[in-house]
Amino acid sequence: MKINVCIAGASGWVGKPLCLALSSTNDLNLVGAVSRTNKGTSLKDFFNKESFELNFSESVEEALKVPTDVLIDYTKADVVKANVITAICKGVSVVIGSSGLTDEDFVEINKLAIEHNVGVIAAGNFAITAVLLQRFACEAAKYLSHWEIIDYASDNKKDAPSGTTRELAYRLSEIRKPELTHPISQTIGERDSRGTTLNGIQIHSLRLPSYVISVEAIFGAKDERLTIRHDAGTGAEPYIEGTLLAVRKVKNYVGLIRGLDKIMS
């Protein structure tokens, strides 16, 4: 039986190629697509593709009136949480691509998902190379005690740090907290120039034209340094396969799974 899927953010940079990829599979069925600015427009016209048979909905609430197994969210930091809660409360599983959710939000989402007996898979980055960055950085954190993270994104990205960086910080903190030779609170000069502390890790966010999403974990040791860096390109294709994998697997879980590597065999 096919899995019925709704995409919130279907007209976006990731949403568009995701709609196209999903509609060309044999096991997934696109039954809902949300975009406020395109509400009522047929996907057939939007994509110039005859095989699409639905119109854009204005909201997740409206789109989920059609029986749906999984909601994918690629929207924005200020709406993702409400969308996820709406879906969970209707018994719909969720795959979260949007960034901006905090550790506290994830705790709340996990609790709600368990209460409603549904699965949620969230990944700060659904690209395989980002999963590898996480793995390699976690390995380095076992051996090196000092590290900080630099989060790079385009100047129009409103949330900070990026989902990629948040998840990396969360994962590294599960290994251990980095050591600080000089406490941040005792910084002489501008304390904020030492960045923000997330999960016990110093994070520095840059928002500049020409970046897409990059993250750099820098490990420092006496007389040596290791930099592990991931750079996303300008296309959204790297996120598609990972997202579709999550859609296929999310019904196997109850509660929140955080990180693509957790579902990769």
Ligand X SMILES: NC(=O)c1ccc[n+]([C@@H]2O[C@H](COP(=O)([O-])OP(=O)(O)OC[C@H]3O[C@@H](n4cnc5c(N)ncnc54)[C@H](OP(=O)(O)O)[C@@H]3O)[C@@H](O)[C@H]2O)c1
Q: Out of 3, 9, 168, 201, name the contact with ligand X by CB under 6 A.
A: 9
- Least distance to ligand X from the beta carbon of 186, Å? 34
Q: Out of 5, 15, 69, 249, name the contact with ligand X by CB under 6 A.
A: 15
Question: Taking Cα atoms as reference points, which of 162, 167, 146 lies closest to residue 206?
Answer: 162
- Asked if 161 touches ligand X (CB under 6 A), the answer is no
- Asked if 134 touches ligand X (CB under 6 A), the answer is no
Q: Out of 57, 86, 98, 202, name the contact with ligand X by CB under 6 A.
A: 98
Q: Burial of 253 by CB count in 10 Å (0-12 exposed, 13-18 middle, 19+ buried)?
A: middle
- Contact assessment for residue 173 and residue 226, using Cβ atoms and an 8 Å cutoff: no
- Asked if 46 touches ligand X (CB under 6 A), the answer is no
Considering only 11-19, 63-71, 106-114, 134-142, which stretch makes contact with ligand X by CB under 6 A? 11-19
- Asked if 37 touches ligand X (CB under 6 A), the answer is yes
Q: Out of 46, 52, 106, 126, name the contact with ligand X by CB under 6 A.
A: 126
Q: Out of 32, 119, 161, 163, name the contact with ligand X by CB under 6 A.
A: 163
Q: Out of 57, 68, 75, 86, name the contact with ligand X by CB under 6 A.
A: 75
- Least distance to ligand X from the beta carbon of 11, Å? 4
- Asked if 74 touches ligand X (CB under 6 A), the answer is yes
- Measured from the CB atom, is 9 or 119 closer to ligand X? 9
Residues within the interface to ligand X (CB under 6 A): 9-15, 35-38, 74-79, 97-100, 123-126, 163, 239
